[in-house]
Structure 1
Amino acid sequence: MRRRHAIGAVLLSVVAVTALTSCADEPGKSEGKNGDPITVGLTYTPNIQFAPFYVAVEKGFYKSAGVKVSLRHHGAAEDLFGALKQGREDVVYAGGDEMLQARSKNLPIVDIATVYHKYPVALLVPEDSDIRKPQDLKGRTIGTPGPFGETYFGLLALLKEAGLSEKDAKVKYIGFTQQAALKGNKTDGVMGYINNDAVSFDESGTPVRAITLSDEGGGQSLVGPSLGAKQSTLDKRGDDIRKFVDASLRGMQYTLDHPEEAVEISKKYIPGLDDGKKKRNALAVLRATEPLMRNDRGELGQIDPQVWARMAEFMYDQGLLDKEIQAEQAYDADYLPKS
């Protein structure tokens, strides 16, 4: 499944898969005043990237907002949107690009808040590489996990920015072996996540540079990790969803303001985080994540209609959508806090 692998690539290799229980006195569940819990799908592995949600539970942000929230990590063999389709999840953490693909397959999912305003995927090259811009990819061997997910979408966007196609570069599908491929000189560069893979390269003693999508000439053409819900859920539980989004943004802000405390809080959810090396890695990932989460005005959660419009056009032109999608149908800023 394409979607299964896309977010999975972000996850740290240092944490083990575990399931959060549904009991009210155990991690992952926040009791509010009334109503059924909002179940939030956070993909496959408890991970520091989800610290804002762990923080929102543990600091009582959901409870004070009057909403019950249950955090759920998917099973390893589960489709990213499977539980949402089945009504077992109310909100899912997924790429905006993945949501657009799901809409093209007739899942009426709507982006209600943008988690990463800057696309987190980039081409990672050795620090001394002569690759400096997307145009330099012509004739180069580029490794990416496969023809799916955000690493692949990011590669296509970089090539388009340079006026190139996949045929102009030597694209090699390497699975999730970016470090081995780059260190072993099997590729000239690899597609990876700025706030995870680049950090891991640095920690392993192989510093890399990130060739990112340009913000110039109209801005980026892809929407990264966001929060999505089905239209029927928004219609039935709009007030609860607004409370959830507001409290989640408080969790994001608190995490960015207090990264060390956020790591400590996350120990309750992430196995092995007491280990010093893993703890340092988690803190480095959080610090690398901060610039991705804020827009140019320093805001959290905001939705950019222009980027959505560019993405809908780009993904359709690249054959990544089963049918053409009107971008404005795929997001709704009405669930964000009013300024």
Structure 2
Amino acid sequence: MTEGPRMVRMVRIALALLLLAGIVTPAGPAGAQETLTFRLNHLPWGMHTAYYAALEKGFWKELGLDVKIIPGHGALEAVNTVGAGKEDVGLGSVDTVLVGQAKGVPIRAIAMDMYQNPSCLIFMKQSGIAKPKDLEGRSVGHPPASTTKNILDAGLKLSGVDLTRVKVVNHPVGAEYQLLASGKVDAFGGFCSGQVPTLEEKGFKVGAISLKDMGIDAYGMMLFTNDKTLRDRPEALVKFLRGWLRGHQWAYQHVAEATKLVLKHRPDRNMLEGAKFKMILAENRADEARQRGFGAMVDDKWQKSMDILVRAGIMDRPLNVREVYTNDLVERAPEAREFATLLFAGPPKD
């Protein structure tokens, strides 16, 4: 055998061994990519910037994934669809995920998206609402599949509010602005980094009571998957997390351009979504992200989150924290530490 053919054969053998070890991934045609479905907690807005960056910049495709993002209408919807195995990954709030798990929904958190819980009650300043107790005898709006209701109810109850004296008004996602402006609800549950800036931009003078104002320290939003998907498709989930984190890195350095990618999927919004994204980034500089990589979680904060819901009677008892979440997948993504380094190095760039 001549030197040339021998070298080619050795290279082919080496590549085959690397493929078997999972160290390199064959490029392959787009049609050969693995499909993965991802259910958002809401219609697209600033908090989803990294996901749309990953989609539009092709970061998931580079990893061999064809990801379909499905807009949502509340985190409870995501818990139900992913729990039933209809979708592969969901984005949900700490309370909807925990309450779902307590009811036997087979899901597990795989990465933290928002370390600080963004939930708050939003109202007009002229309403006279200044503290949680002021909501007694008033109405509060929530979508039927609300992302925030359970944790806000827990905060109100632990603040001494009689929830039987608070009227709950169910409304479609997005209707909260009109309902508040017209006086059909006195307040609604939302995100401090979401609806508050939107209302202020429209000229409304609004106030907000956050979970932090109520003395509540709980996790916020997280990525989760069905137990069967976790067992059967761990490699696809790692690729999903890697693409998402690459999206975060790119968006952090190109906020304006990344915001335009979100607006492509939500044309009724504007560049204010970029400011919201920056607010969320500033709130995501958590110790566990710095120490273990972005997306990593810790037992203590999960336990605190469960204890809040148990004390308020939203959950009957705490769950085994080791069955609630896993860091196994996000810790396999080198981008987790790369993005954490970027996040703590300085402010994002437009």
The bucket for the TM-score relative to the shorter chain is: 0.7 to 0.9
Amino acid at match of 1:173: V
CA distance in 2, matches of 1:31, 1:132: 58
List aligned pairs for 1:93-108, cutoff 5 A: 93-108=91-106
Distance in 2, Cα, partners of 1:49 & 1:198: 14
Match of 2:241 in 1: 245
Q: 1:207 aligns with which of 199, 205, 208?
A: 205
- Tell me the residue number matched to 2:267: 272
Contact 1:42 1:72 in 2 (8 A): yes
**Secondary structure at the counterpart of residue 262 of structure 1:** helix
Q: Report the aligned-residue RMSD.
A: 3.6
Could you report, residue by residue, the CA deviation over 1:22-55 in whole angstroms, capped at 9, with x for unpaired residues?
xxxxxxxx97897623322235644443221121
**Residues 141-197 of structure 1, C-alpha deviation per residue, up to 9 Å, x if partnerless?**
251326763332233232234233314x53442525433444345555432222221
Contact 2:118 2:220 in 1 (8 A): yes
Equivalent residue, structure 2, for 1:231: 227
Q: Which has the higher helix share?
A: 2
| 1: CA distance, partners of 2:241 / 2:271 | 29
Cα displacement (A) at 1:261? 0.7
Alignment of 1:288-327 (within 5 A): 288-295=279-286, 299=290, 300-321=294-315, 325-327=319-321
State the AA in 2 paired with 1:310: K
For residues 71 and 177 of structure 2, the distance between their equivalents in structure 1, rounded to whole angstroms, comes to: 26
Decide whether aligned partners of structure 1 residues 291 and 32 sit closer, same or farther in structure 2, where only a CA change above 3 A counts: farther
d(CA) in 2 for partners of 1:76 and 1:291? 25
Counterpart CA distance in 2 for 1:137 and 1:305 is 34
Are 1:283 and 2:274 matched, yes or no?
yes
Decide whether the 8 Å contact of 1:120 with 1:292 is kept in 2: no
Q: Of 300, 317, 336, which aligns to 2:330?
A: 336
Distance 2:48 2:183 in 1: 33
Check whether the contact 1:31–1:63 (CA below 8 A) recurs between aligned residues.
no
Q: How does 1:33-112 map to 2 (within 5 A)?
A: 36-43=34-41, 45-64=43-62, 66-73=63-70, 79-112=77-110
How much does 1:133 deviate?
A: 4.4
Q: Distance in 2 between matches of 1:237 and 1:316?
A: 32
Please tell me whether the aligned partners of residues 194 and 288 of structure 1 are also in contact (alpha carbons under 8 angstroms): no
The answer to whether the Cα contact below 8 Å between 2:107 and 2:224 also exists between their aligned partners in 1 is yes
1:137-148 to 2 correspondence within 5 Å? Answer: 137=134, 139=136, 141-145=138-142
Q: Number of residues paired by the alignment?
A: 300
Residue identity over aligned pairs, in percent, reads 24
Determine helix, strand or coil for the equivalent of 1:331. coil
TM-score, reference length from structure 2: 0.71
- Go from structure 1 to structure 2 and tell me whether the alpha carbon gap of 1:247 and 1:316 turns closer, same or farther (over 3 Å shift): same
Contact 1:92 1:228 survives alignment (8 Å): yes
Distance 1:75 1:147 in 2: 12
Q: How has the CA–CA distance of structure 1 residues 209 and 291 changed in structure 2, closer, same or farther, with 3 Å as cutoff?
A: farther
Tell me the secondary structure at the aligned position of residue 289 of structure 1.
Answer: helix
Change (3 A) 1:304 1:209: farther
Distance 1:165 1:328, change over 3 A: farther
- The separation in 2 between residues aligned to 1:31 and 1:233, in whole angstroms, is 24
Question: Is the 2:115–2:284 contact (alpha carbons within 8 Å) kept by the matching residues of 1?
Answer: yes
CA shift, 1:113, in A, is: 0.7
Q: 2:156 aligns with which of 137, 156, 159?
A: 159
Which structure has the bigger radius of gyration?
2
- Distance in 2 between the 1:326 and 1:40 partners? 26
CA distance in structure 2 between the aligned counterparts of 1:42 and 1:309, rounded to whole angstroms: 25
- Which 5+ residue runs of structure 1 have no aligned equivalent? 1-29
Out of 225, 228, 250, the residue aligned to residue 254 of structure 1 is: 250
Q: Structure 2 regions of 5+ residues with no counterpart?
A: 1-27, 338-350
